[in-house]
Amino acid sequence: MFSTREDAGEKLAEALDGLDLTDPVVLALPRGGVPVAIKVAESLKAPLDLLLVRKLGAPGNPELAAGAVVDGPAHQVVFNPEILAAHRLTEADFASAIREKLAEIAARREVWLAHRAPVPISGRSVLVVDDGIATGATVRAALKGLAGRGAREIILAVPVAPADVQAALAPLCDRLICLETPRPFYAVGAHFAAFPQVSDDEVTALLAAH
């Protein structure tokens, strides 16, 4: 059990201490990953940036994840080929949705990071940090979106996640650090004494302070 996200971040930083990292950069998955990632970034004396992911819902069924747009200097779009095939969709069918998601990402960056440009990751150890993983859909898209962007290595670091999701995500990164693997797993928030929603204002203030 973690007391707060900040407590989880401190414990995660301890677990990462001593790793052989090359010019590390920490990427937080907002909103909940930001308080955790700040503790990691402070411990590593590393720059902190956000990794924004927006789901691409299938036409007529927005809850069905056909793909995702992943933030970056050159954004990446990842698709679920099985969903496309099952619904007879092509990547071209999502052109307008991709433009919409890119606009959402730009708006989020403006709110949270003002005019700060994304931190370069080429040749660096990249640590992707969240407050925990449940299904892994967002993290899976994030990791796929980072592939091919020139990182020296990609490390997924989280306080808590189920074993099967860890196994599914492990091939998408070079290292996976998870502090707790509950059996059975109920929800990320079940493993925190306090797990309030993180607001836009909190994210903005935390990033500005960092």
- CATH number of this structure's domain 5-51+120-205, picked from the four choices 3.30.479.10, 3.40.50.2020, 3.40.309.10, 3.40.50.300: 3.40.50.2020
pLDDT of residue 13: 97
3-state SS, the chain, equals CECCHHHHHHHHHHHHCCCCCCCCEEEECCCCHHHHHHHHHHHHCCCEEECCEEEEEECCEEEEEEEEEECCCCCEEEECHHHHHHCCCCHHHHHHHHHHHHHHHHHHHHHHHCCCCCCCCCCCEEEEECCCCCCCHHHHHHHHHHCCCCCCEEEEEEEECCHHHHHHHHHHCCEEEEEECCCCCCCHHHHECCCCCCCHHHHHHHHHHC
Name the segment(s) of the chain with CATH classification 3.30.1310: 53-113
pLDDT at 76: 84
pTM of the model: 0.91
Q: What is the pLDDT of residue 71?
A: 84
Can you tell me the mean pLDDT for 54-64? Answer: 84
Distance CA 33, CA 51 (A): 10
Q: Which two tokens stand for residue 34?
A: 């930001």
Q: Does domain 53-113 have CATH number 3.30.1310?
A: yes
**What is the C-alpha to C-alpha distance for residues 205 and 200, in angstroms, rounded to an integer?**
9
Report pLDDT for 59. 84
pLDDT in tens, 2-44: 999 999 999 999 999 989 999 999 999 999 999 999 999 999 9
All CATH 3.40.50.2020 domain ranges of the chain, comma separated, are 5-51+120-205
φ, ψ of residue 208 in degrees (nearest 5): -65, -40
Which pLDDT value is given to residue 64?
A: 81
What is the pLDDT of the chain when averaged over all its residues? 92
Q: How confident is the model at residue 95 (pLDDT cuts 50, 70, 90)?
A: very high
